[in-house]
Amino acid sequence: MEITLVLLIILVGLVFDFTNGFHDAANAIATSISTRALTPRIALAMAAVMNFAGAFLGTEVAKTVGSGIIGAPQGSSGLTLVLCALVGAIAWNVFTWWKGLPTSSSQALIGALVGAALAASGTVYWSGVVDKVILPMILSPLVGVALGYTLHLVILWAFRKASPRRTTRRFRMAQTVSASAMALGHGLQDAQKTMGVIVLALVTAGWQDDFSVPLWVIAAVAAAMAAGTYSGGRRIITTLGRRITHLDPPRGFAAETSAATVLYITAFVLKAPISTTQTITAAILGAGATRRASAVRWGVARTIVAAWILTFPGAGLPAAALYLLIHALTGL
């Protein structure tokens, strides 16, 4: 039974990572597509390659997710908990993709883990949830807004005397670099969360003693995310690239560069699992607001923020309900 559950968790974990890829593909490339810096097909291919590469850059976030959020019971009960969490996170990802809402796959996964753990009477490390998840996820969008706004003001000042047409052309080319950096950061951050869950299952089953991430886990997760990214999440690309605010190449470059900076700092320095979706959305808001406050469609922004708030319970409640149902039917 435990072997079956572990294999099922690995499979479902890779499915979650695939949904993370197509759900969050917009994070890296929506701005580049909307400014016509890249065509959709080239942008998706570039993002998939950079996502794959980013997954190999570190495992500290994976260790945080695997060991610092919940303590799963040993054996089949703990494995069932992890499986239900993955299903709850996938369900939320698919629902919000269908609605075209750029919500956080990271928050969905962590909310589902906490919901399933509470249902299973498992241990929730609330200090870790607050310090490593809640606070970084609150602060990262605020920093993203500030950086996006500030960087675009610097660009406006630095190129105030340059030809607008030449400036636009140069930043359209520069967006290839900034979009690549954003896609690399997305792979660095989001792939590690699935790695952490798979390693949690391996430790729960007693297949390994620590939370180090095996190379085969990194490779499998990287491939699943790259495949999902290449399949593309065009509904969310439209929301991020066009519905929040009008973006030109300088604003797109400012948003992508700011968001990528936040992703790298939180992954390498803070070792915190933050939301790439929230970070790039906030950076887009900041860069768009330099034109004027009314240039941002605040109604769309409010809908997105409401979806962010609902993500924890939206993924946690189904995960908890599924665990209770399976436990009632099977005793696991």
pLDDT tens-digit series, residues 171-180 = 988 988 998 9
Give the model confidence (pLDDT) of 224-281 as tens digits. Answer: 999 988 886 565 565 554 555 567 889 889 988 999 999 999 889 888 888 887 888 8
Whole-number pLDDT of residue 138: 82
Q: Is the pLDDT of residue 200 over 80?
A: yes
Span 298-312, mean pLDDT? 74
Closest listed residue to residue 126, CA positions, set 71, 178, 165 = 71
Q: Is the pLDDT of residue 118 over 80?
A: yes
The Cα 227–Cα 49 span in angstroms is: 9
Q: Which residues contact 31 (CB under 8 A, 6 or more apart)?
A: 37, 175, 179, 240, 241, 247, 251, 252, 255, 256, 280, 284
Q: Is the pLDDT of residue 96 over 90?
A: no
The Cα 119–Cα 2 span in angstroms is: 20
Higher pLDDT: 184 or 135? It is: 184
The Cα 254–Cα 152 span in angstroms is: 5
Span 17-34, mean pLDDT? 75
The DSSP 8-state label assigned to residue 269 in this structure reads I
Residue whose structure tokens are 């769309």? 300
Whole-number pLDDT of residue 21: 83
